[in-house]
Structure 1
Amino acid sequence: MYPYLAIAFPDLLKPIVDVMTVVLKQIDAVTHSYALSLLIFALLITVVLWPLRHQQYKSMAEMQALAPHLKRLQQKYKGDAQKLQAEQMALYKEHGVNPMAGCLPLLIQMPILFSLYRAIFADKDAFGTAHFLWIGSPLATAFPKIVAASLAAPDVVLLALYVISMYFTVRYSSPVTDPQQAQQQKIMALISPLMIAFVGRGWPSALILYWLAYNVFSTAQQIYLMRTLKHSIPPPAEEPASESKAEPSKRQQKRAANK
């Protein structure tokens, strides 16, 4: 998906692409290894996006803490959509939560991620002869349909590793407590990697290598944030039991006495 979007908006993304191209070339000038440069570049992008990701997961943690409150409001105002919306907004205001705050960091990240495709391919000569572990090794001659001869060619093994990393990223990056959401997450964890496997089978291994590294780094970042982020939103107070439930009726007392 990302390559096609990057191609669709070349002029709009050009300033970001130019900056990324310069940074990638500077890293390559130091490492003299295009594969290593991609790994360092992926780590650098992960670090740059840290504040946005932190805000995104902070908002997710707050919304998750508010989920029981929202569920109670939905039950209480089931037949009054207008009142429900008003109470939900009051709840957000009370706890200082913006329900759209988690979307903004994601939207800001998208142009950066779209630009990476063009930045990586700005210097085709660099990765046209670049090797990485098994890529460009004698295995490429023995298994040309599976192993790439260079980072410019598709590599089945690298794509498979990326697909596996995608599964774990989607499956475990955003823990949910709602059973319906958990089921949807399981489905997405299967569908997303399959889509990547289908669409990315012709992508150069240089791009897949970057995405694999970025996926590993960002997933580690997500796990850290989920374990360390705290919120101050208490669980909803338990509703007092109704009088009929709290105290047995006279009929029930009489039956109990007869026994």
Structure 2
Amino acid sequence: MRKKYLLLLAFVGLVVLLAGCTQTGQPITSESEGIWNEVFVYPLSWVIIKIAQIFNNSYGLSIIIVTIFLRLLILPLSVKQIKSSKAMQEVQPKLQEIQKKYSSKDANTQQKLQQETMKLMQEHNVNPLAGCLPIIVQMPILIAMYHAIVRTYEISNYSFLWFELGSPDNILPFITGILTFFQSKLMMSTNTSANSNPQVAMQMKMMLYVMPIMITVMAFMFPAALALYWATGNVFMILQTILINKPLMSNNNSGGVKK
């Protein structure tokens, strides 16, 4: 759990870093060179432009559609994360028994502890790193989306709803922060380990308030088009939690740990 949150913080820091010291001042075109531009940024920019043209140059609507598509693309990873997280919670009692049995710090005992822990994980198909996979996959997607937005000059010339897509907005960041809070709160309610592990509960409660504040501050710094991407992604995740996560949790609770 701690590693997961450290990855989240590293991801936010990486976005800020890349926002200040990369090619954000250079427009993205078919002539842009480099694997990053050719594989990630330009394809996203091209798709955003083409979809916007279909809807009478509505770049805001295009960003929403592209965001939903990207979220659907990584949905299988999210489902796998949910299942692995639930399985990890269910094996915690047995894992604690093993840790208590092999509590000695000598090398042989620690080696036996690692072997028994790995055996337990394999028996119940638990992958401790599965929870980090969606976060790792989203990192390049978010950074590429940021580049596609700020380096596609067509976007900055259009507005959507009440805001200019190419400039920071004064209202959308608060909406994004609120949606981030509700998403985190909903995810926290599905994580039963938070109720039984005080340390995990404290960490999750801290992130429940830290992440929305960080996202809100960043949304004030970046173009409103990027905040629109974040807000759309949060709405998708809220609906995903309601429609997919909770039924999965309910099914796993009724089935218990496989013997």
TM value normalised by structure 2: 0.76
Q: What's 1:200 paired with?
A: 219
The equivalences for 1:1-259 within 5 A come to 1=12, 2=15, 4-5=17-18, 11-14=34-37, 15-32=39-56, 33-79=58-104, 80-132=109-161, 134-135=162-163, 150-174=164-188, 175-177=191-193, 178-229=197-248, 230-231=251-252, 234=257
Number of residue-to-residue matches in the alignment: 221
Once the two structures are overlaid, the 10-residue window that deviates more, 121-130 or 203-212, is 121-130
Once the two structures are overlaid, the 10-residue window that deviates more, 72-81 or 198-207, is 72-81
User: Does the CA contact (< 8 Å) of 1:152 and 1:206 recur in 2?
Assistant: yes
Instruction: Name the CA shift for 1:23/1:7 in 2 (closer, same or farther; >3 Å).
Output: farther
Distance (Å, rounded) in 2 between the aligned partners of 1:73 and 1:34: 55
User: Does the CA contact (< 8 Å) of 1:20 and 1:116 recur in 2?
Assistant: yes
Question: Once the 2 structures are TM-superposed, how far is the Cα of residue 125 of structure 1 from its aligned partner?
Answer: 2.7
Distance (Å, rounded) in 2 between the aligned partners of 1:82 and 1:114: 40
User: Does the CA contact (< 8 Å) of 1:16 and 1:115 recur in 2?
Assistant: yes
- More helix by percentage: 2
Distance (Å, rounded) in 2 between the aligned partners of 1:210 and 1:3: 16
Q: Which entry has the higher C-alpha Rg, 1 or 2?
A: 1
User: Does the CA contact (< 8 Å) of 1:66 and 1:233 recur in 2?
Assistant: no
Q: Which runs of 5+ in 1 are unaligned?
A: 136-149, 237-259
Distance (Å, rounded) in 2 between the aligned partners of 1:9 and 1:215: 26
Question: Once the 2 structures are TM-superposed, how far is the Cα of residue 197 of structure 1 from its aligned partner?
Answer: 2.6
Once the two structures are overlaid, the 10-residue window that deviates more, 36-45 or 215-224, is 215-224
Distance (Å, rounded) in 2 between the aligned partners of 1:227 and 1:59: 14
Deviations 1:11-69 (A, max 9, x none): 45321112111211111011121111121121111111112222222221221221222
Deviations 1:49-97 (A, max 9, x none): 1122222222212212212221222223222433322211110122232
Question: Once the 2 structures are TM-superposed, how far is the Cα of residue 6 of structure 1 from its aligned partner?
Answer: 6.2
Distance (Å, rounded) in 2 between the aligned partners of 1:151 and 1:114: 17
Q: Which runs of 5+ in 2 are unaligned?
A: 1-11, 24-33
Question: Once the 2 structures are TM-superposed, how far is the Cα of residue 163 of structure 1 from its aligned partner?
Answer: 0.8
Instruction: Name the CA shift for 1:102/1:12 in 2 (closer, same or farther; >3 Å).
Output: farther
Question: Once the 2 structures are TM-superposed, how far is the Cα of residue 234 of structure 1 from its aligned partner?
Answer: 2.3
Once the two structures are overlaid, the 10-residue window that deviates more, 101-110 or 39-48, is 101-110
SS of residue matched to 1:47: helix
Distance (Å, rounded) in 2 between the aligned partners of 1:179 and 1:36: 43
TM value normalised by structure 1: 0.76
User: Does the CA contact (< 8 Å) of 2:63 and 2:228 recur in 1?
Assistant: yes
What is the root-mean-square deviation in Å for CA atoms of aligned residues?
2.4
SS of residue matched to 1:200: helix
Distance (Å, rounded) in 1 between the aligned partners of 2:22 and 2:256: 41
SS of residue matched to 1:55: helix
Instruction: Name the CA shift for 1:163/1:76 in 2 (closer, same or farther; >3 Å).
Output: same
Distance (Å, rounded) in 2 between the aligned partners of 1:173 and 1:82: 35
SS of residue matched to 1:115: helix
Distance (Å, rounded) in 1 between the aligned partners of 2:243 and 2:60: 26
SS of residue matched to 1:156: coil
User: Does the CA contact (< 8 Å) of 1:176 and 1:182 recur in 2?
Assistant: no
